[in-house]
Amino acid sequence: MKRSKIHTLLQSTHPSDQVLIEGWVRTRRDSKDFSFIEINDGSCLKNIQVIVQSSLPNYDDIQKLTTGSAVAVSGALVTSQGKGQFWEIQASDVAIISLASESYPLQKKRHSDEFLRTIAHLRPRTNKYGAVFRIRSELSYAIHRFFRDQGFYYIHTPIITGSDCEGAGEMFRVTTLDPQHPLSNGHAFDISRDFFGKEASLTVSGQLSAEMFALALGDVYTFGPTFRAENSNTRRHAAEFWMIEPEMAFCNLSGNMDMGEAFIRYLIDHALCNCSEDMELFGKFVDPSLMATLNHILSSEFVRLPYREAVSILSAASQSFEYPVTFGTDLQSEHEKFLTDVYFKRPVILYDYPKSIKPFYMRVNDDQQTVAAMDILAPGIGEIIGGSQREERLEVLEARMDETGMNKAGYEWYLDSRRYGSVPHSGFGMGFERLIMMITGITNIRDVIPFPRTPGNIEF
RNA sequence: UCCCCAGUAGCUCAGUCGGUAGAGCAAGUGGCUGUUAACCACUGGGUCCGCGGUUCGAGUCCGUGCUGGGGAGCCA
């Protein structure tokens, strides 16, 4: 008999004489002549209740089922005689697939996120983490659908890169050489004898590659793992995370902002419409104001604020800041928080940043002081998107590279794109985990990625 | 990397003025029951994070290390 998913059974419109489910015991209760087992198979948040009559031949064993044990249950799907659930299964057979030892760490009670991080291999079996990772999967799908519907192509940019300066933080070195004994013949460390014959690293961004494909296929995006070797110890940084990077030809900064805003809106809407049961859990147990916040984001325009005006607002603010605000310095977290959480109380798109604090590839504005950069800041999360219109003018780009002390030799391929049919184009990067944090209300990035990698932590 | 806070039973925590350790849940046993974080009774369970110091005596005070959390920087 074919196995049914619990998700499907709970949505049934009529009873069924014979069904088969396979899953894990969440909890078990005994009654006089029968036993209640609640089973979860991961297909949805809810468990299904199974009634096991004492007349079953292996009833003694069934009564010893512990939380976490795996079972296969066949029986009839019937309307429940009790309150609290519509459907339940009257079991005709309960096969014990495996018994969980009594040391199973997940109990029928609330655990702290800190504890669950120490058992990251088991935490997806809890209600909350099951919901997180179902939503994560659903949003991945929604991302592809969003872009596909608009004629974007999905590009797989390299994970291993030879660009030694992508301008976005410290990089992880990739080598096959043994640091203790770099070469078998006793020679000293010699990069030319390494696998690629030169320095190689894990990517910090697929942008430069994506630009090449935007200038061929028009509208493209990447969605893949990204690596930053920064020694960041905060609740919103991970050494390995997933990033979505659209890149659009014939698109200026304004179009870029439109796209970023529409993208975030679409994903929130998708989660609310397609993950309502899991979303309800977050609104109830993680952040009581979550639904109001998300609906507010959906119903209000994002603020679009030039950096220069942001500086004015912050300078005029009655609130005092630890760090001063002046044109030419990057805004501090406290400033961004003030804008999103206090002043506007909604997402803010900051744009036209000073040239001096932004990387070489961002397009220089006519004022020669600012570049066409934009960051989307979300309340409670901070920067969720960072992007720009790219510098498409060869001379300006080369001048910027010289200015920032870059070695152009390794970037001839990049510069070629400005030599042959260069066009205005734009793109941005969105941190996938930060999006999930915003949508679920979870405040620590380590709780929205299956096995988080942070400084000093690579267990599992 | 810097600043702040915490570490006590499997989990979540209490522990007063420095006087040799407590609760709820979990586990085990028994009872009751269409139950639903089931309920009731009993039982077992401790390197009080490690090391050093002060003291007659340290979970408690001091130093130091480790681990975890929050904030800052960096960013997505």
- Which of A192-196, A331-335, A366-370 is predicted least confidently? A192-196
What Å value separates CA A179 and C1' B9?
Answer: 45
Q: Which of A52, A81, A98 is the last residue of a domain?
A: A98
The pLDDT confidence band at residue A93, using thresholds 50, 70 and 90, is very high
**Residues A231-288: tens digit of each pLDDT:** 999 999 999 999 999 999 999 999 999 999 999 999 999 999 999 999 999 999 999 8
User: Is A118 part of a structural domain of the chain?
Assistant: no
The number of C-alpha atoms within 13 Å of A393 and in the hemisphere containing its C-beta is: 8
What Å value separates CA A390 and C1' B19?
Answer: 72
User: Is A80 part of a structural domain of the chain?
Assistant: yes
| Same domain as A159, residue A44 | no
Of all nucleotides, the one whose C1′ comes closest to residue A432's CA is: B76
- Closest listed residue to residue A235, CA positions, set A458, A459, A449, A429: A449
Determine the pLDDT at residue A101: 83
| Same domain as A44, residue A190 | no
| Beta-bridge mates of residue A88 | A49, A78
| Beta-bridge mates of residue A305 | A350
| Same domain as A285, residue A202 | yes
> What's the domain count of chain A?
2
CB A79, CB A87: distance < 8 Å: yes
Of all nucleotides, the one whose C1′ comes closest to residue A232's CA is: B74
Determine the pLDDT at residue A281: 93
Determine the pLDDT at residue A183: 63
Determine the pLDDT at residue A1: 87
Please give the share of chain A, as a percent, with pLDDT higher than 70. 97
What Å value separates CA A108 and C1' B36?
Answer: 12
| Same domain as A350, residue A264 | yes
How far apart CA A441 and CA A287 sit, in angstroms, is 6
**Residues A369-386: tens digit of each pLDDT:** 999 999 999 888 889 999
User: Is A458 part of a structural domain of the chain?
Assistant: no
| Same domain as A128, residue A90 | no
Q: Chain B bases under 7 Å from protein CB?
A: 1-2, 10-13, 24-28, 31-38, 67-76
What residues contact A237, with CB distance under 8 A and at least 6 apart? Answer: A228, A230, A445, A454
pTM of this structure: 0.93
CATH code for the domain of A27: 2.40.50.140
What Å value separates CA A106 and C1' B3?
Answer: 35
**Residue recorded with tokens 């000293």:** A188
What Å value separates CA A134 and C1' B48?
Answer: 40
Of all nucleotides, the one whose C1′ comes closest to residue A116's CA is: B11
Of all nucleotides, the one whose C1′ comes closest to residue A33's CA is: B33
Phi, psi of A295 (to 5 degrees): -65, -35
- Mean pLDDT within A116-136: 94
**Residues A8-39: tens digit of each pLDDT:** 999 999 999 999 999 999 998 888 889 999 99
Determine the pLDDT at residue A410: 85
- Mean pLDDT within A359-372: 95
User: Is A452 part of a structural domain of the chain?
Assistant: no
- Mean pLDDT within A131-148: 97
Task: Enter the tokens of residue A214.
Answer: 């935007």
- Mean pLDDT within A86-106: 90
What Å value separates CA A115 and C1' B6?
Answer: 14
- Mean pLDDT within A441-447: 94
**Residues A294-350: tens digit of each pLDDT:** 999 999 899 999 999 999 999 988 888 888 888 888 899 999 999 998 999 899 999
- Mean pLDDT within A80-104: 90
Q: Which residue is nearest to nucleotide B76 (CA to C1')?
A: A431
Determine the pLDDT at residue A329: 87
Determine the pLDDT at residue A22: 95
| Same domain as A93, residue A134 | no
pLDDT at A80 over 70: yes
User: Is A1 part of a structural domain of the chain?
Assistant: no
- Mean pLDDT within A419-437: 96
Domain that holds residue A41: 6-98
Q: Which of A65, A98, A131 is the last residue of a domain?
A: A98
**Residues A163-191: tens digit of each pLDDT:** 755 555 688 999 988 777 766 666 667 78
| Same domain as A380, residue A271 | yes
Of all nucleotides, the one whose C1′ comes closest to residue A231's CA is: B1
Determine the pLDDT at residue A405: 83
Q: Which residue has the higher pLDDT, A319 or A158?
A: A158
What Å value separates CA A170 and C1' B40?
Answer: 61
Mean pLDDT of chain A: 92
- Mean pLDDT within A442-455: 94
- Closest listed residue to residue A100, CA positions, set A130, A125, A73: A125
Is the C-alpha dihedral spanning A345, A351, A353, A359 positive or negative? Answer: positive
Determine the pLDDT at residue A237: 94
| Same domain as A47, residue A190 | no
| Same domain as A389, residue A244 | yes
The pLDDT confidence band at residue A460, using thresholds 50, 70 and 90, is confident
| Same domain as A381, residue A292 | yes
CATH code for the domain of A268: 3.30.930.10
Determine the pLDDT at residue A164: 58
pLDDT at A84 over 70: yes
| Same domain as A387, residue A246 | yes
**Residues A210-231: tens digit of each pLDDT:** 999 999 999 999 999 999 999 9
10 Å CB burial of residue A208 (0-12, 13-18, 19+) is: buried
Of all nucleotides, the one whose C1′ comes closest to residue A105's CA is: B10
User: Is A440 part of a structural domain of the chain?
Assistant: yes
What does DSSP say about strands A87-98 and A48-53: parallel, antiparallel, or unpaired?
parallel
What Å value separates CA A150 and C1' B53?
Answer: 70
Identity of the residue numbered A284: K
Determine the pLDDT at residue A406: 85
Q: Which residue is nearest to nucleotide B73 (CA to C1')?
A: A232
| Same domain as A388, residue A269 | yes
User: Is A420 part of a structural domain of the chain?
Assistant: yes
Of all nucleotides, the one whose C1′ comes closest to residue A49's CA is: B36
What Å value separates CA A32 and C1' B30?
Answer: 15
Which among A128-137, A160-169, A406-415 has the top mean pLDDT?
A128-137
Taking only Cα atoms into account, the Rg of chain A, rounded to an integer number of angstroms, comes to 27
The pLDDT confidence band at residue A83, using thresholds 50, 70 and 90, is confident
User: Is A271 part of a structural domain of the chain?
Assistant: yes
CB A26, CB A126: distance < 8 Å: no
